[in-house]
Chains A and B, each alone.
Chain A
Amino acid sequence: MDKNLLRYKGVMPVFLIVGFLTLVQSVSILLLAKWLAEVISALFAGEPLKEQWGTALLFLLAFLVRHACAMLMGRVSYRFAEMTGSSMRREMMDKLFQLGPRMVGDRGTGNLVTLVLEGVTKFRTYLELIIPRMVGMSVTPALLLIYVYTQDMTSGIILTVTMPIIIVFMILIGMTARKQMDRQLKSYRTLSNHFVDSLRGLETLKFLGRSRSHSQSISDVSDRYRSATMRTLRVAFMSSFAMDFFTMLSVATVAVSLGLRLVNEQMTLLTGLTILILAPEYFLPVRLVGTDFHATLDGKEAGEAMKSIIDRDTVKAVLLEAEGNEVAIEAESAGSIFKWHPESTLTLNDLSVQYEAGDLSSLKGISLQFKGASKIGIIGESGAGKSTLVDVLGGFLHPTSGSITINDNHVSALTDEAWRKQTSYIPQRPYIFSGTLADNVRFYYPEAALEDIARAVAATGLSRLVASLPNGLDEMIGGGGRALSGGQEQRVALARALLSSRPIMLLDEPTAHLDIETEVELKETMLPLFAGKLVFLATHRLHWMVDMDLIIVMQQGQVAEIGTHGELVARKGAYYELIQAQLEGLH
């Protein structure tokens, strides 16, 4: 049983209602069996049908009550499942956006989307099934069994003995199947992914001249996958086989033993029939549990996966007082703490970031100071810590140690909405949402007037593009709309940043993937827009550095050098080496 189950809001009333309905249902099953048996045995004894109509209608009534109970139970548990499922999704969505892009990188976009959409559905199915099944299994068989014992000891014993056998077999076979699945899980996964892998690699296969012959390999692998699946299914289906087999055998045994005792006149037909009708009903709840086992298991796991996201800690930035106390930042004061103006200073004090305990640090003992409006270049090779530094500065990432001083306030991190609202961010591949060009530009600032948008678009060199689009600014772009080139995407992001007129700009490798001419043009557009802002530009393209006010050279998570271009060249240190490395020809 799932211990989380009892913690969901409003679960107790659901249990009570379902419990009550199950009780009514079980009683109506008893009554319908009794009345049906009465009608049949009376007719069999030769009584006229006319006198039996009353009992027959009673049977129909009991029969309808039974199924009405099932319908109501379904309704109650569906509502509960729907409510709990949506509130869980809501919590998870809020958490996801608090955790931000770092988390997405770890989990994978596809995984998260599937978890939100399909995971919630599975979890809902689980909630919907588990309560009626649990209650049904604990109430109905017991009640029916007691009744059968009052009527006929022998049948009662047969039914009692069968139940544990069924359960033990189901568990044993289930475990065997699980083990077998686990054992071949790896080859299983490879086989089942082979087809998608082939489709995604189709172009490569074509280039290699292997695409035609590869269809044979698809068919071979599919066949291997089939045999592997069938091996597992042979065991997996055994559990429902065992359930079927023992239930049916038990019903048959009850029937035969009833027959034998009827012959010896130790019993009446009425009792015999009643028990015979009740026997399959006795097993029904267990069989339902078996049938829905996989659905409930899947749903339970999905629920746990969601819970693990909801339970993640989001480390919030806190205010550090002189005595070393940590004070939560109130929303009202956050604005003034993080407010960036031309005289502001930002100091990083001995800052480190370590992703997992025990891992190498991504950033080690960083101490830097920035003032008002200036252009900061962050340079270094891949893995030197450029992106991590940008993530800290952008408030996506809480450092593991160290502190930050901003406007004379000591804080633990910049992960605060008030800070983020002053920054704009341009990654290597800015995301273009599916929507109109105008919507994409006013993304940070949806209230922006159309003239302002047009101005931003013109300033970022997008006017030619807009003029060439049939719908101008209202053209749909992004997924499903018109595709933009890498350079155009950067310009949209730039327009977005410009329109928001936020005082801080973060750029992470904005041009590495562009051809050199596009890069040049983009640079020419960008540089004037940097004026009057605090700009952080992380890149490994050296030519940007000439235009920076300050250059930070990163090496293995540490600051190797700081200075202007001239200073650093004169120093002939790490920066100078980077330049020299690029000046050498290929060899």
Chain B
Amino acid sequence: MKREGWFAPYVSSYFWRFLLIIALGALTIFSASSLMYTSGFLISKASIPPENILMIYVPIVGVRTFGTSRAVIHYVERLVGHDTILRILSNMRVRLYRILEPQALFLSSRFRTGDILGMLADDIEYLQNVYLRTVFPSVVALLIYAAAVISLGTFDIAFALLMALYMLVLVVVLPLISLFFTQKRQREVKQARNSLYQKLTDAVLGMGDWVISGRQSQFVETYEADEKKVARTDAALRSWARLRMFIGQAIVGIGVLTLISWASGQYADGAFAGTLIAAFVLVVFPVADAFLPVSEAVEKIPQYRNSLERLSGVEEDNGATAHAELEQVNLEPVEQLKSSSTHIQLRNAGYRYDTGEDWSIRDLTLDLPQGKKIAIIGRSGAGKSTLLKVIQGAIKPAIGSAVINGIDAAAYGEKIPAIIAVLNQSPHLFDTTVANNIRLGNPQASDEDLKEAAALAKLDTLISTLPEGYNTPVREAGQRFSGGERQRIALARILLQNTPVVILDEPTVGLDPRTERELLATIFTAMAGKSLVWVTHHLVGAEQMDEVIFMENGSVEMRGTHAELLKREPRYRRLYELDRPVSL
């Protein structure tokens, strides 16, 4: 059922276009066949002595028409076909996006390995072949098959039935046999190729280690051995494909002989004119051209399976992880949410992802009135990300509560970005201009607002040095800029978003100390008056916070202002000294 989910709906919604494509496809073959048919008829007719030029006028016109129309129809067919498929792909993309969108905050943890998002996008591209390479050619072949049988039937029903059976070998039997034979091998090749891909990516990413280990040649050796295995299976597939082609052609050749004997019999019986012998024999070749590719088209079916399975897998998972839609409380309009002062409170909040697993956070109490700034520190797995998700209402605490202005945080749903902005470790810069990237924070912003935000983020000098200023493209994933510059662009973006609360999720990881300090200074100045929840891995800047919270194993290990902790906690003192080496 699920598998059809990515295939069937498009057939019905594009039914008429599909019909047109198939009709044009059939007409293409029809024209080519008619050319040979009328040509055969024409020269036979012309060779009968008493004929004169007028008698062959009609077939001459026919030959010329069919000769030119095939190319035109085929051209139109291909254009219509591709246009339709691109429309379908566009629908599929939107659909995949809508499936993934609700789980946006959980994607990175769910799809850890490899670039699964890129793979899903490729899967959709690949599905265009289902229609162009498999469905259309097969249906066209079936249509031509029917037409051929019917037109033979008008002459001789018994022979038409015989030929129907015979042609069935080409149109159905051979493709099915081929599918049956190759299915397993094709799957093997596909799997083997996937594992080669894994293996190679692994090795290339760990190239430094391989080089240092001095075992490179060992890797190349085992890799090549695996490649050889795939090559063997692949060779078997290819050799079958060649043999299949030969078998198909042999069937065609025997078909020609059958038609010759039938046509000569008909002629001898006086059932039809001698001119039709050549016509019937010559038409076999173009008709066979429609039938022969069916095997290859059908053989491709197993190849689509992976893509379809991956896509429907995403859909099913989504069903499992999607939280029951929370009843949306009547909230103030977005504008009001933005301007009102916001008070976030967590009371003894606890959460775990699965019953039986350890608590990700437990007994967490937090009070964040408008303008308060807190830093959260802890090692990975201490529960920092879960805490942030609870504050954003992306997950609802299993015990205790998380409320924003007295209303459950989770109830804000889609409106959360009006209250809380997030600057994380690697904010995505979209492949467009600097201005467009900043404006994502607020599409209605005027150019002045935009410039003001950029100035607050201390981007103005950088932007003035760019070749096209604000309209300079950032390139894929913001490659034009350094890590610190990317963070500033993202900072300008959330300044434009202008929310009362800002979450900073380790925004300075990977930056060198000077860049880190400069960026933090800019952030804290620009964030004046806003509530801040700052998850950090270093203690630089902790003194600027109203509260510092140390998390360990899901709960608060120590908390207080920087000064208090420095005085009270030797552990804190030691860590702080490492970051700001006073003892040096």
On A, residues with C-beta under 8 Å from B are 36, 39-40, 43-44, 46, 48-49, 52, 56-57, 59-60, 63-64, 67-68, 70-71, 74-75, 78, 82, 86, 89-90, 93-94, 96-98, 100-101, 104, 109-110, 112-113, 116-117, 190, 193-212, 214-215, 218-219, 222-223, 225-226, 229-230, 233-234, 237-238, 240-242, 244-245, 248-249, 251-253, 255-256, 258-260, 262-263, 265, 268-269, 272-273, 276-277, 280, 381-382, 394, 396, 417, 420-421, 423-425, 427, 430-431, 433-434, 443-444, 446, 478-480, 483, 485-487, 496, 512-520, 540-543, 545-546, 565, 569, 579, 581-583, 585-587
Contact = CB atoms under 8 A, between A and B. Distances in A.
Nearest to A66: B249
Interface string B75-89: 100110011001101
A276 B203 CA distance: 59
Contacts of B56: 259, 263
A180 B49 CA distance: 55
Contacts of A238: 75
Contacts of B202: 431, 433-434, 478-479
24 contacts: A43-B260, A43-B263, A43-B264, A43-B274, A96-B204, A110-B115, A196-B117, A203-B428, A210-B440, A215-B94, A223-B90, A233-B82, A237-B79, A252-B39, A255-B38, A255-B43, A258-B46, A269-B44, A381-B513, A425-B208, A427-B208, A515-B537, A516-B575, A517-B379
B514 A381 contact: yes
Contact of A234 (B79, B97, B261, B540): B79
Interface in B562-584: 574-575, 578-584
B190 interface: no
Given A237-B75, A479-B113, A516-B575, A485 B381 contact: yes
Nearest to A238: B75
Contacts of B245: 67, 70-71
A223 B43 CA distance: 50
A273 B543 contact: no
Given A39-B260, A203-B104, A60 B253 contact: yes
A71 B242 contact: yes
A513 B107 CA distance: 22
Interface residues of B, number: 167
Contact of A230 (B51, B86, B207, B381): B86
Contacts of A587: 521
Contacts of A486: 380
B521 A586 contact: yes
Given A244-B70, A262-B47, A542 B584 contact: yes
A101 B212 CA distance: 10
Contact of B211 (A100, A541, A545): A100
Interface in B431-489: 431-432, 440-441, 443, 476-477
Given A40-B277, A97-B211, A244-B70, 9 more contacts: A64-B249, A74-B242, A93-B224, A113-B200, A206-B101, A208-B493, A209-B415, A219-B90, A263-B52
B179 interface: no
A289 to B, nearest CB: 17
B5 interface: no
B208 A431 contact: yes
A540 B39 CA distance: 83
B2 interface: no
Contacts of A94: 216-217, 220
Given A208-B417, A433-B202, A485 B380 contact: yes
Nearest to B441: A208
Contact of B539 (A82, A423, A516, A565): A516
B173 interface: no
A117 B220 contact: no
A538 B514 CA distance: 16
Interface string B117-154: 11011001000000000000000000000000000000
Contact of B104 (A49, A211, A265): A211
B513 A540 contact: yes
A272 B47 contact: yes
Contact of B64 (A193, A210, A223, A252): A252
Contacts of B281: 36, 40
Contact of B377 (A48, A195, A515): A515
A194 B579 CA distance: 41
A203 B260 contact: no
Nearest to A497: B212
B207 A208 contact: no
Given A93-B224, A546-B584, A117 B197 contact: yes
Given A117-B200, A586-B524, A209 B39 contact: no
A202 B100 contact: yes
Contacts of A478: 202
A470 B78 CA distance: 57
Nearest to A382: B512
Q: Give the interface SS of chain B, mostly helix, strand, loop or mixed.
A: helix
Contacts of B379: 485, 487, 515, 517-518
Contacts of A256: 42, 60, 63-64
Given A104-B204, A252-B67, A256-B63, A215 B440 contact: no
B227 interface: yes
Contacts of A242: 71
Contacts of A229: 82, 86
Contacts of B83: 226, 230
Contacts of A277: 282
A96 B206 CA distance: 12
B210 A97 contact: yes
Contact of A249 (B67, B114, B575): B67
B278 A273 contact: yes
Nearest to A415: B211
Nearest to B263: A43
B220 A396 contact: no
A259 B249 contact: no
Interface in B259-285: 260-261, 263-265, 267-268, 274-275, 277-278, 281-282, 285
B520 interface: yes
B42 A60 contact: no
B224 to A, nearest CB: 6
B544 interface: yes
Interface stretch (B9-17, B231-239, B349-357, B359-367): B231-239
A445 B549 CA distance: 43
B481 to A, nearest CB: 14
Contact of A199 (B45, B75, B97, B193): B97
Given A89-B227, A203-B108, A208-B417, A49 B261 contact: yes
Contacts of B47: 44, 262, 268-269, 272
Contact of A444 (B72, B117, B213, B584): B213
Q: What 3 A-B pairs are tightest by C-beta distance, nearest first? A: A209-B417, A252-B67, A222-B90
Nearest to A569: B584
A516 B53 contact: no
Contacts of A519: 578
Nearest to B44: A44
A89 B228 CA distance: 12
A59 B258 CA distance: 13
Of B115, B124, B274, B537, chain A has the most CB atoms within 10 Å of the CB of B537
B423 to A, nearest CB: 8
